[in-house]
Chain A
């Protein structure tokens, strides 16, 4: 997320490191190993509460889920403590009558749809969020705080309530369709809800603050004299945006995109309410396994497959960013 910052700071690091290293070595050589050990113990003690909380609320539940995903499903929910990879096989295959595995792409399609809708959500949120963040960053400081505050207001109300509000607006006899029909603009209600459009709209609405806030944060730090320099050198507004503002806001754009994409992928309430349950997304599928389908191991396995895909994508992306970063550095030195 902050590769650019890391690059900018890099030239400083080599200077700082050699100074501190000999000092540490000198301290150790003086023979007060006891003091070093006490210091280590003190640091460990200070880390313990935070580590404890992370282990308790993150590692333990995840381990529990991972265990469940390798167990056998009980008929009426819950699990039988018997090792099985069925849950993972079920993601891609169905068991035929003769117990052979047949390829089944139902769940893959749901995953693909989820990724598609999440990408669309991210794209739309970026198209709306970037200009919004830019607009806020260009206001006088006293208005900026106010506008950022307005961006966060939807968070004050429950997500469920807000999604119901969208139903009232979007349904066939909702505010939008009624108004348009009363005005004679359309004769049939527009299909605004219980489809991919409704889901994307709802997701964009739900997560757009996550796009606006990080982009605003990077634009707010931006040195606007650089934009003046671009104008001065003959760049019009569009060129200045393309060549200077967007590249410098990239850390915020990437952070915002990840923050919108990842929760969209796991979204549950919005696809349920605005998709009408007809267009399943991963979140709904997982919920279904713990609910109506009563197949806990499969639900846990789905959650882990999702986690693995997201992690893999982020790691690949980070590796690529680092590789381009280092190759750039090699070029500069060479």
Chain B
């Protein structure tokens, strides 16, 4: 198991400034990144994800804690001694060098032979589909091409881990989608561990093998995209990833697996439980809009009046105002050609399967 771990962070904290200006950018973050996986650091700006990446690259040193790369302690090692390369958000291509010189820079620093450098540069440009562009200057390339050069440059040294700092944020939507696929392909082809920073939850869900959701310097939840989306552990994760309905409820009865919760309306619902819930405690339940459905059942746990219907093509979003809950969102697939099941102003019931309910930690 241990040899599978590429990066091992143990209670890593990073504090900038001191006294009243002190900023705790990372707060006791512990996580493990497996060898060869596509791992994403996801969170809003200022959550500490870029700081974490800079600690891995060696541009910053942790205030506390340990970072190990394949078992080797990294603290104190300058960036140029780490078998780690970075794709910068701004690409940071050397403007005074040609594309080929940019790509060969790292190889020259390693003391690779001239013949080998020439071969590897060609290979790398081939890999990122820029063969023949070697003699151009970065300023003569489009944003997407610059992005590819940055990738080729970072991969040329065959790093153990490739760090990517929001590399796609400067690209337009279409190019971004292309590069997402391209990055996945590169990661598959090279087998290198990718650590990818983004604030785009959709990007994180579609690309990652596993991801960590971060906020205020803390790692809130680590898991596969499916685990994170289907079973968010707390309110921030539930809210940050995708749409969610939050319901305040009281615990009726609960064991480790499932429980019954009483909604303010008095209705009882079944849901997935977690440890340490005692009867009577107030909890927040999360429910994804697509896991709920409109129903005619008079015993449906929630009832409300449809305030708005938004057509999205593949599905339709109903905004239902429910007493003592507020606006509740239901998404239903447009399997019947997009005809609305109910119009604005009609009263409907909302029902859901027991495993759709997730109890959050606040």
Contacts and interface: CB of A to CB of B under 8 A. Distances in A.
A332 B80 contact: no
B140 A233 contact: no
A232 B98 contact: no
Nearest to A12: B139
Contacts of B80: 231-236
Interface in A243-261: 243-244, 247-248
B90 A231 contact: no
Given A8-B95, A247-B96, A229 B136 contact: no
A230 B105 contact: yes
B153 interface: yes
Given A234-B110, A239-B109, 15 more contacts: A11-B139, A11-B140, A225-B90, A228-B59, A228-B88, A229-B92, A229-B94, A231-B79, A232-B79, A233-B80, A233-B85, A233-B154, A244-B94, A332-B136, A332-B140
Nearest to A243: B105
28 contacts: A8-B95, A8-B139, A11-B140, A223-B92, A225-B90, A225-B92, A228-B59, A228-B79, A228-B86, A228-B92, A229-B94, A231-B58, A231-B78, A232-B57, A232-B58, A232-B80, A232-B84, A232-B86, A233-B105, A233-B106, A233-B157, A234-B110, A235-B80, A236-B78, A236-B80, A239-B109, A243-B94, A332-B137
B78 A225 contact: no
A233 B156 CA distance: 9
A42 B85 CA distance: 58
Contacts of A248: 95-96
A243 B94 CA distance: 10
Interface string B129-163: 00000011101100000000000011001000000
A235 B85 contact: no
Interface in B75-123: 78-80, 84-86, 88, 90, 92-96, 98, 105-106, 109-110
Interface residues of A, number: 23
Interface residues of B, number: 29
B152 to A, nearest CB: 12
A4 interface: yes
B153 A233 contact: yes
Contacts of B59: 228, 231-232
A226 interface: yes
A80 to B, nearest CB: 57
A251 to B, nearest CB: 11
**A-B interface, 6 closest residue pairs, ranked by CB to CB distance from nearest:** A233-B106, A234-B109, A229-B92, A231-B79, A225-B92, A232-B86
B94 A235 contact: no
A332 B95 CA distance: 14
Nearest to A247: B96
Interface in B219-271: none
A331 interface: yes
A101 B157 CA distance: 70
A228 B93 CA distance: 11
A236 B86 CA distance: 16
Contacts of B58: 231-232
Nearest to B109: A234
Contacts of B86: 228-229, 232
Nearest to B92: A229
A247 B95 CA distance: 10
Contacts of B136: 332
Nearest to A4: B96
B139 A226 contact: no
B286 to A, nearest CB: 39
Contacts of B153: 233
Contacts of B98: 332
A256 B119 CA distance: 40
A233 B109 contact: yes
A233 B111 CA distance: 12
Nearest to B140: A11
Contacts of A229: 86, 88, 92-94
B132 to A, nearest CB: 12
Contacts of A243: 94, 105
Contact of A331 (B94, B135, B139, B157): B135
Given A230-B105, A235-B105, A332 B135 contact: yes
A235 B96 contact: no
